[in-house]
Amino acid sequence: MSQYGFHTTGLEIVNDFSGNVKGRPSEGGIGAQTAISLAHGAPSMILLLGRSLTKIQPTIDEIHTINPSITTKFIPIELSSLKKVRTAAQSILSDTSIPKIDVVINNAAIMISPYELSIDGYELQLATNHLSHFLLTNLIMPKILAAGPGATIVNVGSLAHVLGDINWESTDFNKGRTYDAWSAYAQAKTANALFTVALRSKLVKRGVQSWTLNPGGIKTNLQKFMTPELLAEGVERYSGPGSERPPLKSVAEGCATTLRAALDASLVERNGSCYLSDCQVIEVGQNLKGYAMDRQAAERLWRMSEEMVGERFEY
């Protein structure tokens, strides 16, 4: 629908596609506003994954204020630990009250953090933003497939992917010696896009949709490492010297593209692109790099990710 754009809010999307929400369970590392907006559509269940119930409880309370009939479940997870990702996945798989998962929204991320390795020895931004989502999504795939045609996986990406491809020769930037925070973040966000391309290729015959997207610039805790110097560097690398920061969205506007990807069954690829920005599918160009939609690169990343998590996934 062409009326959607920069200022569309998540609640507008949910209201327009409420028939695709009501009665459905949903799951994912979703932001609070995404979950709260979804609650207005009366899903039967919302699963909220995160490190701390204390931080997520206000979101649960708000969901129940909107609609007390919605079942909410908190599942603890630590995205920098593959072991803890497996524990979270197993808790979902073993819970008989969750017969299927209609929508997965992989939203959690860290951004431009100092160099650090995950518990498993991988560069932290790639481990948190991609490997954890890759492993979790594949482990809970039986319940996604149980939802049948129409199930949807959404991987929230970023415009920052345009700042760099996968560092194929050394994803940890030569043990940190050549580490650059923006390049590492770009690598992780490119990985989100390529993971989506691979999922679409492998699952489209099952009727499962996969989308990735740029939610837009939103001032949240994601930017806790953002200094004025890093911000200026990022803007200059994208737009050139002397450029101003693009306008920011509100949190309500920022979740809209995610929700359209999750709920609008009429969305179709455009020239091989499964990437949305401002609630619209966009093609390769200034704001979407070809390397992020490359099918061969997507398969290469899939195999590399399998090696990193120590498990193969075939569909």
Residues known to be catalytic: 185
In angstroms, the CA 40 to CA 22 distance is 9
Token pair listed for 18: 């409420």
In angstroms, the CA 12 to CA 72 distance is 22
CB atoms within 10 A of CB 251: 18
Do strands 280-282 and 275-277 pair parallel, antiparallel, or not at all (unpaired)?
A: antiparallel
Token pair listed for 142: 């039986």
In angstroms, the CA 52 to CA 81 distance is 15
Length of the chain: 315
CB atoms within 10 A of CB 248: 11
